[in-house]
Amino acid sequence: MKFFIDTADINEIKKAKELGILDGITTNPTLVSKIGRPYREVLTEVSGEVDGPVSAEVISVDYEGMIKEGRELAKIRDNINIKIPLIEDGLRAVKTLKSDGIKTNVTLCFNSVQALMAAKAGASFISPFVGRLDDVSEEGMDVVEEIRAIYDNYCFDTEIIVASIRNPLHIKIAALTGADIATIPFSVFRQIIKHPLTDVGLAKFIEDYKKIPK
């Protein structure tokens, strides 16, 4: 499973890179708004940090606007893919951008039939938002399991990005389900490394080493 970081914060990206396990980046307008600098400037900076895929989201919600914006954002760097909302005009835009040779990440996916539509339109990535489903008492990870089964049934090569991740359990189930990618907030990157028994065990080893005659 590939690990992306879900952030537009260059410092978080650099720290995740230091771990040596970062495969890509996802951003959205909310994440970029936290940086307090112009949209394109932030995306240019962020996309230069990794060789892997970087998602940049369009703001338009009409077909022509999404195509225009998508083509402009794709010029920033070769590793940029265009995040498109899962709406009718969005699916049309996915097909057109694909014929231009531009990859897309279809976002705001909340059920498996939506994901089927995105794959049929030619999306490179699909982003089910698991945390937001959990927030409204629906099992977000069930949707990921269904998407995996549907894509496997019909050999779609659209990659599943588990998004809106809130905790390590989301990542464990994503891996068990065979999701292609987890896009992880920096805070959760830290959580998935730590275990209290690792810390306790390490302290004991260091303490016991001191007892060994020199």
Residues 7-36 that bind ligand G3P (CB under 6 A): 26, 28
Residue 158 touching ligand G3P (CB under 6 A): no
Is 75 labeled as catalytic in the residue annotation? no
Q: Which is nearer to ligand G3P, 74 or 163 (CB)?
A: 163
As a residue count, the chain comes to: 214
Residue 84 touching ligand G3P (CB under 6 A): no
Q: Which is nearer to ligand G3P, 52 or 131 (CB)?
A: 131
SS3 sequence, 150-205?
A: HHHHCCCCCEEEEECCCCHHHHHHHHHHCCCEEEECHHHHHHHHCCHHHHHHHHHH
Do 61 and 140 touch, CB atoms closer than 8 A?
A: no
Do 177 and 144 touch, CB atoms closer than 8 A?
A: yes
Number of residues this chain uses to bind ligand G3P (CB under 6 A): 10
Residue 65 touching ligand G3P (CB under 6 A): no
Catalytic residue among 14, 15, 83, 95: 83
Inter-axis angle of helices 168-177 and 186-193, nearest 10: 80
For 109, the 3-state DSSP assignment is strand
Q: Token digits for 57?
A: 């989201």
Residue 126 touching ligand G3P (CB under 6 A): no
> Minimal distance in Å, beta carbon 79 to ligand G3P?
17
Residues 162-201 that bind ligand G3P (CB under 6 A): 163-164, 183
Do 107 and 127 touch, CB atoms closer than 8 A?
A: yes
Binding span for ligand G3P by CB under 6 A among 12-20, 40-48, 125-133, 146-154? 125-133
Q: Which is nearer to ligand G3P, 112 or 183 (CB)?
A: 183
143/146 Cα distance (integer angstroms): 5
Which residues carry out catalysis? 83
Residues binding ligand G3P (CB under 6 A): 6, 26, 28, 127, 129, 131-132, 163-164, 183
